[in-house]
């Protein structure tokens, strides 16, 4: 019995050592900002991981047909601190419809997310790109924004207007929500109070404006925008929008005051620049981009100053790095990546200690 126990312990230690060793190889030598990089999820598509106000917990969306998850559902977990430590998580959405863009509430007991379950319990259809022959994203008009507790019980519906309502994040003060809506016929950015009241439109230029988040002091927002300019571009945009689609292949980053004033463009890179977030000091923006590659792939992560100077690439994977975010205390950094997926298509969540 003692021998059996000793062998079991030795095997467990070996597994841990091998896992730690594997985790140590996740970062490339020139990814100097990433210390102690750990892989949190394994298998499926895992994305849009966002820290809660306590720096300890995250929400993220996950699809994995092998687990019966046919379209994105929301999961919640406590981030690990050491290599080899298992990341435990649970589904906190109901499994009905498609969900997206979850964000933990300031009370640590609820989360915000968008869901299509109001229209149907099943997954909405995905665009047939063989027919459309373009890379497009769906903007389902059945998306609305809800608040639920961490057991998945929906406690409040914040949006009820016709059209797409999603991509919501919360201000650091916990008093405001910024989100994307099609309620005016175009895709624009709006703010509302944490309880859903006092809705205000803060962008009004034709084109897709979305994916906004607040600066650490809550005084600014950053977002991605696709702004068609020529008659042909505008027609293409409107034709796709009429089908509930957008083409995200040309997007630039914009910042403005939290009330929408003083809006101006930050990047002039071409291609797709998206998933922006402020650095903890509020002086730079981290984002994903494919601007260095003619074929529109890979995506890497970059830092840039608010005035568009000081561009720095911070990730090096040859496939896909996106959805970056800092913990509120600035100590940790999280993103999604195709790295370490055995050459397949899985996208997983990674976290590290941030080195400035």
Smallest Cα–Cα separation from 210: which of 147, 164, 156? 164
Confidence (pLDDT) at 133: 86
Pairwise CA distance, residues 304 & 314, whole Å: 10
Would you give the distance in Å from CA 199 to the centre of its chain?
Answer: 23
Question: pLDDT digits over 194-229, tens only?
Answer: 999 999 999 999 999 999 999 999 999 999 999 999
The answer for residues whose C-beta is within 8 angstroms of residue 256's C-beta and 6 or more apart is 202, 203, 220, 221, 262, 263, 264
Q: How many residues does the chain have?
A: 356
Smallest Cα–Cα separation from 180: which of 114, 129, 135, 122? 114
How crowded is residue 267: how many other Cβ atoms within 10 Å of its Cβ?
Answer: 21
The answer for residues whose C-beta is within 8 angstroms of residue 107's C-beta and 6 or more apart is none
Q: Looking at the predicted structure, is the pLDDT value of residue 343 above 90?
A: no
Question: pLDDT digits over 275-318, tens only?
Answer: 999 999 999 999 999 999 988 789 999 999 999 999 999 998 88
DSSP assignment, residue 52?
-
Confidence (pLDDT) at 289: 97
Question: pLDDT digits over 83-92, tens only?
Answer: 788 999 999 9
Structure tokens, 126: 């995905």
Please give the backbone phi and psi of residue 126, each rounded to the nearest 5 degrees, phi first.
-95, 155
Pairwise CA distance, residues 103 & 156, whole Å: 15
The CATH number of 2-354, from 1.10.3210.50, 3.40.309.10, 2.40.420.20, 2.120.10.30, is 2.120.10.30
Pairwise CA distance, residues 194 & 178, whole Å: 9
Q: Where are the alpha helices (DSSP H) in the chain?
A: 2-24, 129-132, 231-242
The answer for residues whose C-beta is within 8 angstroms of residue 113's C-beta and 6 or more apart is 59, 74, 93, 99, 100, 101, 102, 103, 145, 146, 148, 168
Q: Looking at the predicted structure, is the pLDDT value of residue 143 above 70?
A: yes
SS3 assignment, position 306: coil
Q: Looking at the predicted structure, is the pLDDT value of residue 8 above 60?
A: no
Segment 84-101 shows an average pLDDT of 95
SS3 assignment, position 197: coil
Would you give the distance in Å from CA 299 to the centre of its chain?
Answer: 14
Confidence (pLDDT) at 18: 43
Smallest Cα–Cα separation from 263: which of 313, 325, 201, 181? 201
Half-sphere exposure of 294 (CA within 13 A, CB side): 0
């Amino acid at each position: 019995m003692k021998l059996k126990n000793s062998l079991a312990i030795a095997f467990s230690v070996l597994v841990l050592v091998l896992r730690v060793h594997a985790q140590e190889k996740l970062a490339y030598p020139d990814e100097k900002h990433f210390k102690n990089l750990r892989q949190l999820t394994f298998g499926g598509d895992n994305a849009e991981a966002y820290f809660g106000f306590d720096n300890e917990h995250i929400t993220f969306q996950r699809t994995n047909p092998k687990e019966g998850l046919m379209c994105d559902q929301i999961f919640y977990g406590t981030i690990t601190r050491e290599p080899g430590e298992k990341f435990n998580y649970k589904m906190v959405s109901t499994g009905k419809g498609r969900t997206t863009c979850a964000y933990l509430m300031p009370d640590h007991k609820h989360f915000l997310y968008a869901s299509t379950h109001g229209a149907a319990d099943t997954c909405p259809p995905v665009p047939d790109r063989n027919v459309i022959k373009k890379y497009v994203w769906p903007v389902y008009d059945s998306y609305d924004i809800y608040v639920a507790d961490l057991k998945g019980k929906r406690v409040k519906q914040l949006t009820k207007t016709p059209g797409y309502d999603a991509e919501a994040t919360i201000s650091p003060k916990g008093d405001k929500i910024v989100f994307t809506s099609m309620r005016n016929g175009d895709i624009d950015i709006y703010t509302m109070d944490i309880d859903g009241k006092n809705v205000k439109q803060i962008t009004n230029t034709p084109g897709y404006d979305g994916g906004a988040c607040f600066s650490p002091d809550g005084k600014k927002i950053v977002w991605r925008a696709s702004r068609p300019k020529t008659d042909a571009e505008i027609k293409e945009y409107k034709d796709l929008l009429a089908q509930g689609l957008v083409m995200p292949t040309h997007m630039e980053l914009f910042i403005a005051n939290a009330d929408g004033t003083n809006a101006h463009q930050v990047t002039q890179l071409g291609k797709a620049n998206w998933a922006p977030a402020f650095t903890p000091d509020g002086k730079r923006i981290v984002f994903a981009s494919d601007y260095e590659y003619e074929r529109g792939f890979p995506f890497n992560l970059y830092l840039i100053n608010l005035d568009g100077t000081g561009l720095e690439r911070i990730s090096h994977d040859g496939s896909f790095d996106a959805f970056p975010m800092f913990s509120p205390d600035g100590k940790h950094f999280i993103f999604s990546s195709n790295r370490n997926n055995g050459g397949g298509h899985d996208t997983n969540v990674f976290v590290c200690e941030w080195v400035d």
